[in-house]
Amino acid sequence: LDDADRIRFLAFLGESVHRHGLLVHGYCLMPNHYHLIIETVRPEISLAFKRLNGLYSQFFNRRHERVGHVFQGRFKSLLIDCNSYFLAAHRYIHQNPVRKGLTKNAGDYEWSSCRDFLGFRTPAPWLRTGLALGYYSGSMKERMSAYATFVETPADEDPFTKAYGQAFLGCPDFVESMCQRARAVATCEHPEHRAFDERLDPDAVMQAVGQKLGSARVLAGLRQPTRAFVLYLLRERANLSLEALARRFRMSPSGISHQVARMKERLLKDKDIRLLMGNIEA
């Protein structure tokens, strides 16, 4: 495991943010596992992490010429009460490298979001720092200082030992409310979930992309660049199937897949392409 592996994992995480409607409020990459504090816009958390772990495992195994799972077992998740345990969760994940002897101070560890919250670097576009820093008052510098004081002070106990049923972490009222909601969901029948973005009209998306792109010179290497961006957006962001896209654009599913894969690779390697994509999605 090296820095190139960690950089690629964060790139895959950034993709998952857009594809599955995740809001990332904090992260910490460890040598053999990772921690995330996320908020879900759509109920796709299992799908999101299955895809994230799968993509990273394929990359890692190919790069290091190995086979098998990179992460063992199913991911573990807890629903956290933001009113009582949100900041405690931040301290826990950011103190993890300190507890494991990887660094003396949480703010010195390169592969967690702690440095972003302390203002040591510019956060990734998909990292949400506002909610955690919003718990403090004053100027942004004062908020960062207060956050640093809290995070750098080791907790007296592991907050996750107080989790209820390995599912919920919060005050008694919060836990009871979540248990009631879970029981209600368990007694209902749900149709297959469909992402709200599937109603996007390909013609409208293509028109919008064309207006945003204009004659950008960085797209010179792509055939029909407008269509390539549209295919990527409808496949990766709106979750349209290859078959549906093939029918709509009169292409083969393999042709669709190739263009999407090529655009995905360009996004990972080319900063200008990423900026354009961010401008389009805005």
Report DSSP letters for 62-87, one per residue: HHHT--S-SS-S-----EE-HHHHHH
Q: Are residues 159 and 201 in the same domain?
A: no
Q: Are residues 138 and 50 in the same domain?
A: yes
Q: What residues have CB less than 8 Å from 3, skipping those under 6 apart?
A: none
Residues 5-58: tens digit of each pLDDT:
999 999 999 988 888 888 999 999 998 889 999 988 777 788 888 888 888 888
Domain contains 121: yes
Q: Smallest Cα–Cα separation from 97: which of 114, 117, 120?
A: 114
CATH number of the structural domain spanning residue 243: 1.10.1750.10
Q: Tell me the H-state helices in the chain.
A: 3-20, 45-64, 82-99, 114-117, 130-133, 140-151, 172-186, 202-213, 225-232, 242-249, 253-269, 271-281
Q: Are residues 146 and 182 in the same domain?
A: yes
Residues 66-87: tens digit of each pLDDT:
887 777 666 778 888 888 889 9
Q: Are residues 164 and 230 in the same domain?
A: no
Tokens of 32: 């053999």
Full-model pTM: 0.64
Q: Are residues 223 and 176 in the same domain?
A: no
Asked if pLDDT for residue 195 goes beyond 50, the answer is: no
Asked if pLDDT for residue 272 goes beyond 50, the answer is: yes
CA distance 136 to 189: 42
Domain contains 191: no
Q: Are residues 62 and 93 in the same domain?
A: yes
Tokens of 95: 């103190």
Q: Are residues 168 and 229 in the same domain?
A: no
Q: Are residues 240 and 153 in the same domain?
A: no
CA distance 173 to 35: 26
CA distance 36 to 171: 21
CA distance 6 to 56: 10
User: How large is the average pLDDT for residues 226-254?
Assistant: 78
Q: Are residues 156 and 114 in the same domain?
A: yes
Domain contains 217: yes
Q: Are residues 10 and 131 in the same domain?
A: yes
CA dihedral 3, 275, 206, 235 (to 10 degrees): 20
Domain contains 262: yes
**DSSP strand pairing (79-80 vs 168-169):** parallel
Residue range(s) defining the domain that contains residue 88: 3-186
Q: How many domains does the chain have?
A: 2
CA distances from 63 to 4, 52, 67, 121, 191 (A): 10, 17, 11, 28, 40
Q: Residue 245 CB: number of other CB atoms within 10 A?
A: 22
